Amino acid sequence: MTLTAEAVRLAAMEVLRPTGATDAFPTLAGAMVFDSKQASVADLDNFASGDLPYIPVLALYTEDSTVETRGAAADVNDNYCQMTLEIVGELAVIARDEDLDAEYVDAVAGTDPEARLVLSAMMAQVCKELLYSERGYLFRRIATHCDKIEQQSHTVPELGLRFQREFMRLTLTIADDELSDEGGLTGRIKTLFDALPAGSYAKAKLSALATHLAGETRTDLTEITVDPGAGPVAGTTLE
């Protein structure tokens, strides 16, 4: 994974779960937006779902990233970069495994036209916020173009199950990582870091990332003087 691909996901987290928001969240998931993990039973227990028999939840994952040179004659830094951001939306409930005597989080199973509309509305909100809304500028300043949007429902036809869960995959054009001798964040990732609000989840994660990126001090090149009368250097052959 490229570092920029990770930064894109964190930017999406800030857009969909804005720092400091208490009730004015941009999607039906509210604060139930998770980074690279599924909601837990404790998360659902602590969330007030109101009148709904389920809780809308979003989870964001960086699925893959690619870096491809633009041609044989291209400069070493002239690359075409893409990534896939996967956003899993579901109407979650707490289910119980009687055999294991344990609870777990699952999506509502079964056909429910009303639930389907809620799920579809939430996924549409995600697209709007990331790709069109004013607050999505943080995301779009590092994900330069959305090349493709794929959506797939979660069904198990063999068992006749249709879960209220949707997989959305955004194929995005992104900038290549901008590497330098400086330590910490550089390039567009540093620009994103500076634009994120203080105390944000994304800023904290990028700050932690920066601690792993050490700088490099290159060895100074010195002029080597060769004495013509000293004869050949050992181990060399003169033609």
pLDDT in tens, 102-122: 999 999 998 889 999 999 999
| pLDDT lower than 70: segments of the chain | 48-50, 71-78, 157, 159-160, 222-239
Which pair of structure tokens corresponds to residue 126?
A: 């995600």
Residue with tokens 């949007």: 149
Residue 233 is predicted with a pLDDT of: 56
pLDDT on residue 226: 62
74 in Cβ contact with 67 (< 8 Å): no
User: What is the CB neighbour count within 10 angstroms for residue 29?
Assistant: 25
Structure tokens at 79: 């690359």
Please state the separation of Cα 180 from the chain's center in Å. 23
pLDDT in tens, 178-196: 877 788 899 899 999 999 9
Residue 47's pLDDT is what? 79
Q: What confidence score (pLDDT) does residue 108 get?
A: 93
Distance CA 49, CA 54 (A): 7
Cβ contact 59:107 at 8 Å:
no
Cα separation of 193 and 179, whole Å? 16
pLDDT of residue 80: 85
Distance CA 123, CA 110 (A): 19
The pLDDT value given to residue 91: 96
pLDDT of 48: 61
The Cα–Cα gap between 57 and 165 comes to 9
Which is nearest to 174 in space by CA: 67, 29, 74?
Answer: 67
CA atoms of 197 and 167, how far apart (whole Å)? 29
How many of the other CB atoms lie within 10 Å of CB of 170? 23
Which phi-psi region, left, alpha or beta, contains residue 199 (left: φ > 0; alpha: ψ -120 to 50)? left
Which residue in 120, 129, 143, 150 sits closest to 25, CA to CA? 129
Residues in the chain, total: 239
Residue pointed to by tokens 């990233």: 65
Cβ count near 125 (within 10 Å): 20
The answer to whether the beta carbons of residues 97 and 112 sit under 8 Å apart is no
Model pTM?
A: 0.86
In angstroms, the CA 193 to CA 99 distance is 47
CA distance 25 to 59: 15
Question: For residue 152, what is the enclosing H or E element?
Answer: strand 143-156
Give residue 182's pLDDT.
81
